[in-house]
Structure 1
């Protein structure tokens, strides 16, 4: 039972969390668990339909309340709940519900959980599309990987998505960022005040059992939700270019690709004769990761940090990826495997890891060290709680420092409010 004076948290989710389907949902669950460990009273709401693989929040003691877009029933709900903290999961939820939260619970701390910078991911996707349209070379993509922060800024600054997303960051009292690289981009290029941002990476506990050995593993593995565009692009690049190069060196190699919500276009790529196995969602992602010898993540665009690569470290599975895949995950430390810039380099390093036991063992140990240094729940969980409490205790002073956020709330929330009320009235008259 929660204490009568327990902090009340309302989480407004873009979707109901499916931690076995996406790293973003896994991160939300880690945050929810951190709140529960404090004895806080947590309510989760979403306007989305429940997904096939959604977490059983009620079993954890989290109240589940469906909500509707453009409906004043939310006003009654939040007024009665009177939360101390409102966490928006993705900026679109702040756009939809932020003005209602401010209107009915003005003293609630408003927090945005970003998962990744969507405008950055979309800008990189567009850059890849332009590159593929103007250049037939499917091998070397070094010109796309990890450009200077100012180049990233220039590629994003013109987009409506970036303007919407960064405005939402300003309107909130605190924003949880999963990547230090994205924090640097926002502070150094977009000019966001540093105090509005808090680094909250994926949080895990150290593995309790030693990982499986080199000899006790087989096959290459790739894993990721097929609905996530960077994952689908990685599968296509593997099929067309990367995997044939690996099979040239290892003719009997097998690649197992797992993904939630496998579409027919992905199933059509399955070819057992080529060792290219497109499978459905893994019931236990860590189990299949622990059985694989090498994890492949040839990501040509994306943002945030990658749950699959953290899972690989958890399972003692060396990985081969790109600078996009490894971004924000290892700082100045070595990577537990290889970071590559071209399909040929990717294939060569993957084969070396797969066949050289000493190289593989060194990469496994590197991953274990990185896990302990950067992703411990015991460090990041308390840091998050401390930051939230500090913001609650200094809320008015912090808001006074954020005039830009106040200005954006005034203009944006008024227009959103009037549009929402118009839509609601129109729906009632149908």
Structure 2
């Protein structure tokens, strides 16, 4: 790895980094403050100043905007290291000196002045004070992008040349607020694809859609800009300090609040009821955490989990910790007006366990993009997934250890491609030691580059939950995907695609060998997959089904 980092100002670290051995694979950096993890940042921003040194590969830069002044009360050490192997970047660690005494005094005096003014004012005067502070903030940002102007308008602050409104007028369209932990990036994971698709559906139904990432308010990168390009208003620093603030201030005007995943629902479900009691609360479970945890626990006790785990029929047999997680998730489901699940299997489980809940089976929109490279020029068999997700890492290890050796024993020419983000060094070492050809691609921004090299994909998941985006994306490219029963669960595959389900490692290896050289069979399965994706995952169908979720008349 080569690169460098430097302190641009007390709240911003800039720099660049690239992998010497694989310059096309962008570096994911971990950020630690005084040894404690703060988050990650990917070095993929353009650095034109490095063109003379690096040539065409200039998307190696990063900007780390610290979420708060870390240096106000003492020195802080900020470490940047490569996530894959913890190699530190040149210039790291950076020591942030404590703020000068006069700066601390000025901030303290400002805080005291505002507190005194607010304490002595009535509600109207406090509103005027807040508006004045926002106007001064706006004056410090003369070149606001349109979305920032929209955020200021929400707080009742005018843009340049406009007259500040006397009060915040009701939105001309119904308002929907979407809450997730992070900013969704469809190139990263299926959950992101789902929430972005559902925001598009809400926009199509006439909602003014707003978004807040409760754990990533400081991030304003390509994913945030992509949402803004869709017409979504994104709350982030400095326009909002927390998701709680957005709920408190915007709550009375919200018509719908969509919460994605269990963690945010646990934290914000009750706050929605408090600050926006009139809003329809929609909870997208994404997948059932307790189900994934129970399957993982089974695998920890036995090499392969039983096909029918006893706790499926009798939840009382779950370990205490997992039973507690199940109870908490079901309680969250009961707290919503409408519940979204992507998996028919989990919809059936929720209908059984919480019959009072209004559960909607709603996947996400997928656009078919069939591969165009001729079959003979696509020699690969691929596995795709985010390796930070434990079921995907386990599946990749299973593929390398148990499935592909059976394939290579019969045909040593079959090349396995491993694609996906956050690929750990341990998996790379396993791939290098494999008894057959393995090409480690790592993060691929556009998966079409993988599909154009692939005849088949494989998804030998041994545990997990929810609908598997890797399977759907492969079928949307016209590439057959061989699935374990867990990977195919909840999809309701049509009869033409059910031969893709292999119930053992040996059966999956046999299917790979059978289909790898059979262009006609792969074409037939690929066309069946494209037909199913086109019909079941069409954007118009998702929007129609979202109407019922939103409680709108048909």
- Contact 1:290/1:317, CA 8 A, preserved across alignment: no
Residue of structure 2 in register with 1:54 after alignment:
223
SS in 2 for 1:389: coil
Distance in 2, Cα, partners of 1:214 & 1:245: 23
- 1:293 pairs with 2:464: no
- 1:309 pairs with 2:455: no
Deviation of 1:386 after TM superposition, in Å, equals: 3.5
- Contact 2:402/2:505, CA 8 A, preserved across alignment: yes
- 1:11 pairs with 2:178: yes
- Contact 1:295/1:320, CA 8 A, preserved across alignment: yes
Match of 1:226 among 372, 378, 387: 387
Residue of structure 1 in register with 2:485 after alignment:
323
- 1:240 pairs with 2:397: no
Greater Rg by CA: 2
- Contact 1:125/1:301, CA 8 A, preserved across alignment: yes
- Contact 1:211/1:290, CA 8 A, preserved across alignment: yes
Deviations 1:169-212 (A, max 9, x none): 00011111101111111112x1433x5100101322344x6754
Classify 1:156/1:68 alpha carbon distance in 2 versus 1 (closer, same or farther; 3 Å).
farther
Q: List aligned pairs for 1:54-73, cutoff 5 A.
A: 54-55=223-224, 56-66=226-236, 73=245
- 1:101 pairs with 2:262: no
Distance in 2, Cα, partners of 1:210 & 1:319: 14
Match of 2:376 among 215, 230, 233: 215
Deviation of 1:372 after TM superposition, in Å, equals: 3.4
Classify 1:72/1:276 alpha carbon distance in 2 versus 1 (closer, same or farther; 3 Å).
closer
Distance in 2, Cα, partners of 1:240 & 1:126: 21
Moved more, 341-350 or 285-294: 285-294
- 1:187 pairs with 2:351: yes
Higher strand share: 2
Deviation of 1:348 after TM superposition, in Å, equals: 0.8
Match of 2:256 among 62, 85, 100: 85
- Contact 1:175/1:198, CA 8 A, preserved across alignment: yes
Q: Which runs of 5+ in 2 are unaligned?
A: 1-145, 151-169
Distance in 2, Cα, partners of 1:88 & 1:178: 15
Higher helix share: 1
SS in 1 for 2:386: coil
Aligned-residue CA RMSD (Å): 2.8
Distance in 2, Cα, partners of 1:270 & 1:215: 24
Moved more, 145-154 or 268-277: 145-154
**Scaled by the length of structure 2, what TM-score is found?**
0.63
Distance in 1, Cα, partners of 2:536 & 2:281: 26
In the comparison of the two structures, how many residue pairs are matched? 378
Classify 1:149/1:131 alpha carbon distance in 2 versus 1 (closer, same or farther; 3 Å).
closer
Distance in 2, Cα, partners of 1:344 & 1:126: 24
Higher relative contact order (CA 8 A, sep 6+): 1
- Contact 1:146/1:324, CA 8 A, preserved across alignment: no
Deviation of 1:148 after TM superposition, in Å, equals: 8.0
Deviation of 1:306 after TM superposition, in Å, equals: 0.8
- 1:44 pairs with 2:211: yes
Distance in 1, Cα, partners of 2:499 & 2:379: 16
Q: List aligned pairs for 1:325-340, cutoff 5 A.
A: 325-331=487-493, 333-335=495-497, 338-340=500-502
Classify 1:243/1:372 alpha carbon distance in 2 versus 1 (closer, same or farther; 3 Å).
same
Deviation of 1:154 after TM superposition, in Å, equals: 5.1
Deviations 1:345-403 (A, max 9, x none): 1111111111122222221122123223422222122111233133xx79xxxxxxxxx
Classify 1:129/1:101 alpha carbon distance in 2 versus 1 (closer, same or farther; 3 Å).
same
Residue of structure 2 in register with 1:137 after alignment:
none
Residue of structure 1 in register with 2:4 after alignment:
none
Distance in 2, Cα, partners of 1:146 & 1:325: 15
Classify 1:152/1:8 alpha carbon distance in 2 versus 1 (closer, same or farther; 3 Å).
farther
**Scaled by the length of structure 1, what TM-score is found?**
0.80
Q: List aligned pairs for 1:311-390, cutoff 5 A.
A: 311-331=473-493, 333-335=495-497, 338-390=500-552
- 1:118 pairs with 2:289: yes
Deviation of 1:4 after TM superposition, in Å, equals: 4.6
Deviation of 1:337 after TM superposition, in Å, equals: 5.3
SS in 1 for 2:423: coil
Residue of structure 1 in register with 2:45 after alignment:
none
Classify 1:68/1:122 alpha carbon distance in 2 versus 1 (closer, same or farther; 3 Å).
farther
SS in 2 for 1:302: coil
Q: List aligned pairs for 1:389-428, cutoff 5 A.
A: 389-390=551-552
Q: List aligned pairs for 1:134-153, cutoff 5 A.
A: 141=304, 144-145=306-307, 150-151=312-313, 153=315
Deviation of 1:279 after TM superposition, in Å, equals: 2.3
